[in-house]
Amino acid sequence: MSAFVDNIMTDVKNVNQAEPEFHQAVQEVVESLEPVIERHPEYKEAKILERIIEPERVIMFRVPWVDNAGVVQVNRGFRVEFNSAIGPYKGGLRFHPSVNLGILKFLGFEQIFKNSLTTLPMGGGKGGSDFDPHGKTDDEVMRFCQSFMSELFRHIGPNTDVPAGDIGVGGREIGFMFGQYKKLQNAFEGILTGKGLGWGGSLIRPEATGYGCVYFAEEMLKTQKKSFDGLRVAVSGSGNVAQYATQKVNQLGGKVITMSDSSGYIIDQNGISGERWDYIMDLKNVRRGRIQEYAEKFGCEYHKGAGVWNTKVDVALPCATQNELQIDDAKALIKNGCFCVSEGANMPTTPEAVDFFLENKTLFGPGKAANAGGVATSGLEMSQNSMRLSWTREEVDEKLHRIMREIHTAAITAADKYGSPGNYVKGANIAGFLKVANAMMDQGIV
Ligand code: NDP
């Protein structure tokens, strides 16, 4: 670690104790930005890095609700409003027992650069709760969402902060929260994205993160004159991002062999497409069951626990959660011939595994760039809400596709310009940072 990075990280660790995921996210960005700060002493003087690392505002609140047995439950709610230099705070809400302030700060920090890369006017934020929707009835989820929004509503607004979904927050949860916001504010306005199609949602928003991740991988493959046609693909997770990444791979002629959930993973050499993909959609979005049931239905392999990366594939799409792809997984993938990794999830690959991929000249698309399609399409949903009109499926998909191509170009160009050709990690961090840093310079010390 250079003295520059070391100094910043010592301060970050002192001030933000017991937040390892936040430290990890900051360190990766700071390492990438070293050559930028060297060329731009004005950023150093204005303490842009020190300011960007500190959230503008953090809100923490109690979320009390009553379960079906009449027992009072108490969860903790959060919203981290990280940076509004280029637009209203924008980023998802995560409902998962692992949620804590450090996790949301890592996600909110990443979101700043990702949103900047989309070219749309969106600042960075993230929020959520340690509530676990698994095993809860729809009524319980509704009561929780109403209680959560009973506090959050006073902090958000169409020009202030516009949350979206993330792990554990899909169309059902967005609907319940939107209903409660509307009741409290007596206003029908675009304060959440990922809404239902009949009440302000955008076509392609559910598909956007998964499609975007595959579009980004497609651009990386093109640099080596390759395409998805005939490639074998491993996907982790079986939630929103994983489902639509799988669909897009199928459309482009690839074959998804594996998917997973937090209990285990399946290997289906026939490919998860057609009625098999339909089955996953019903299993995960309607019946809310476990992936093991897929193996029982179609007679393929099922393994408990992690291990989805130990398969012979050409492309890996980690689409579940942070730090799910570790150094041994990276080694197994490379040994099995994998040459392209595109992150659908946020920070799914550990720093050692990222380094290993880069050393082995793997095409590696970091989440900040590769999964930006979700928030980009959220930005398109905001535009449609403001204009009170709806674009067609083709129009939104075309805009999403163009944005993903532009992000790819921006990342590769910045990587080249700052001395790390082909390194999408550095390129995405630098390209995302410059726009936010310049806006902060223009707006003075605030
Ligand atoms: P979902 O809740 O729809 O799905 C998450 C999937 O990951 C599920 O299959 C879940 O399994 C699995 N998973 C979650 N936590 C763990 C864990 N600790 N270990 C193993 N598996 C786990 O979430 P999304 O698909 O929306 O999000 C997935 C990732 O993509 C996250 O990192 C998110 O931040 C990122 N992302 C999402 C965007 C979006 O638009 N939705 C946008 C950009 C990034 P199980 O059901 O068993 O819990």
Task: Report how far apart, in Å, the C-alpha atoms of 346 and of each of 329, 369, 371 are.
Answer: 17, 10, 8
Tell me if 261 CB under 6 Å of ligand 1: yes
Q: Is the CB of 432 under 6 A from ligand 1?
A: no
CA of 247 relative to ligand 1 center, distance in Å: 16
What separation in Å is there between the alpha carbon of 240 and the centre of ligand 1?
Answer: 7
Decide whether any atom of ligand 1 lies within 6 Å of the 125 Cβ.
no
- Does residue 1 surpass a pLDDT of 90? no
Say if pTM beats, i.e. exceeds, 0.95.
yes
Ligand 1 atom with least separation from CA of 107: 34
Total Cβ atoms within 10 A of residue 338: 24
Residues with Cβ within 8 Å of residue 35, at least 6 apart in sequence: 418, 419, 430
321 lines ligand 1 (CB under 6 A): yes
Cα 387 to ligand 1 centroid, rounded to whole Å = 31
**Rounded CA separation 273/254 (Å):** 10
What pLDDT shows up at residue 101? 98
**pLDDT tens-place string over residues 407-428:** 999 999 999 999 999 999 999 9
Question: Considering only the top CATH level, what class is 208-368?
Answer: alpha beta
Question: Was domain 55-188 assigned CATH 3.40.50.10860?
Answer: yes
Structure tokens at 373: 């399609």
Expressed in angstroms and rounded, the spacing between residue 319 Cα and the centre of ligand 1 is: 6
Task: Indicate the helix (H) or strand (E) that contains 255.
Answer: strand 255-260
pLDDT band for 343, please (50, 70, 90 cuts). Answer: very high
On the question of pLDDT at 296 being above 90, the answer is yes
Residue 24 sits at the vertex; the CA angle it makes with 22 and 26, to the nearest 5 degrees, is 70
Give every CB contact of residue 100 below 8 A, 6+ residues apart in sequence: 130
201 lines ligand 1 (CB under 6 A): no
To test ligand 1's pocket by mutation, which of 132, 256, 262, 407 has the most ligand atoms within 8 angstroms of CB? 262
What local confidence, expressed as pLDDT, does residue 84 receive? 98
Q: What is the pLDDT of residues 72-84, one digit of tens each?
A: 999 999 999 999 9
Which ligand 1 atom sits closest to the C-alpha of 346? 32
The string of pLDDT tens digits covering residues 117-128 is 999 999 999 999
pLDDT band at 249, cuts 50/70/90? very high
Atom of ligand 1 nearest to the CA of 237: 9
Domain ranges (residues) in the chain:
1-51, 55-188, 208-368
Confirm or reject: Cβ of 239 under 6 Å from ligand 1.
Answer: yes
- The domains spanning 55-188 and 208-368 adopt the same CATH topology: yes
